[in-house]
Chains A and B, each alone.
Chain A
Amino acid sequence: MPDLYVAKPKKEVFEKLDLPPLSNPLSSFLFKPSDVRFENQEKDEIIILLLRRHWITNLGWIIASFLGLFIPILFFFFFPIFELPQKYKILLFIGWYLLLIAFIFEKFLVWFFNVAIITNKRVLDIDFYGLLYKEISDAQLEEIQDVTQTQIGAIRTVFNFGNVTIQTAGERQMIEFEDIPHPDKVVKILQDLR
């Protein structure tokens, strides 16, 4: 008996999207990263996209940290009357730079581990707020009802990043990927996967 209907194999949309190179592990947009895995990943689950906030969102704390490097020098230059014993001055220097290192490290970690993951089975949003709060939300691809892309403001338009909001039929009704690069491509990939 001849087949009534045979679905043609679905050509992957990714090939047409002109995706950026994947070699840099510090990238905000990693397409099919081979060396990354996540908690509770199933054996046959493949990561299609790993997203972080666009690097430009880090500019504020990077500039603040750079200026922070010079604060002790400026402080002792402009306030020479602030006479402390030498050992306390050295300790103040060391203390300041320890705080600065902690600030930079914490900001980097929060950026690096706040990821959105799209696999061939589900979408995950992993959020760390500061160092003490962790939130993971996920939704199966079949549960996705609507995907919205928002790109507001000149900076977002120039650097091409924005939010992608995913409405789901699951327990958690909304998953939001914030300030991710190439939101149009993410929406296209999600549409293709559904």
Chain B
Amino acid sequence: MKNMKFEDLFNLFYFFSPWLFLKIITLFLLGIYVCFALILVRQISLMTKTVYGQFETFLKIVSKILLITAVGVLIISFVYL
């Protein structure tokens, strides 16, 4: 940054693409969602250890489907956006 010339700064803004910026933001938000889905899977495993006997398998499957979907959307967005 110290040796950055005016032309470099100009080029940076000239070639700046708002769509690239939008893509980065989208991927970042989807990354947060994947983290949330991971926490959900872990949390359901803890919850079903606390009280168990009802819907354990169903809830675990739903949480894993959500995680797989989130990862899938993240990969598709990375490739196609």
Give the B-binding residues of A (Cβ under 8 A).
25, 33, 35-39, 85, 87-88, 91, 94-95, 98-99, 101-102, 105-106, 109, 112-113, 115, 117, 126, 128, 131-132, 134, 136
User: How far, in whole Å, are A85 and B59 apart by their CA atoms in the complex?
Assistant: 36
A37-B55 in contact (CB<8A): no
A36-B50 in contact (CB<8A): no
Give the A-binding residues of B (Cβ under 8 A).
19, 22, 26, 29-30, 33, 36-37, 39-40, 43-44, 46-47, 49-55, 59, 62-63, 66, 69-70, 73, 77, 80-81
With contact pairs A109-B44, A131-B43 given, residues A98 and B53 touching in the complex (Cβ less than 8 Å): no
20 contacts across the A-B interface (CB closer than 8 A) = A36-B54, A38-B51, A39-B49, A85-B19, A87-B81, A91-B81, A95-B33, A95-B73, A98-B33, A102-B33, A102-B37, A102-B66, A105-B62, A109-B43, A109-B44, A113-B50, A131-B40, A132-B39, A134-B46, A136-B50
With contact pairs A25-B55, A36-B54, A132-B39 given, residues A113 and B47 touching in the complex (Cβ less than 8 Å): yes
B22-A88 in contact (CB<8A): yes
Nearest neighbor of B69 in chain A, beta-carbon distance? A98
Contact of B54 (CB < 8 Å), options: A35, A91, A117: A35
Residue of B19, B22, B47, B70 most packed against chain A (CB within 10 A): B47
With contact pairs A87-B80, A91-B26 given, residues A102 and B36 touching in the complex (Cβ less than 8 Å): yes
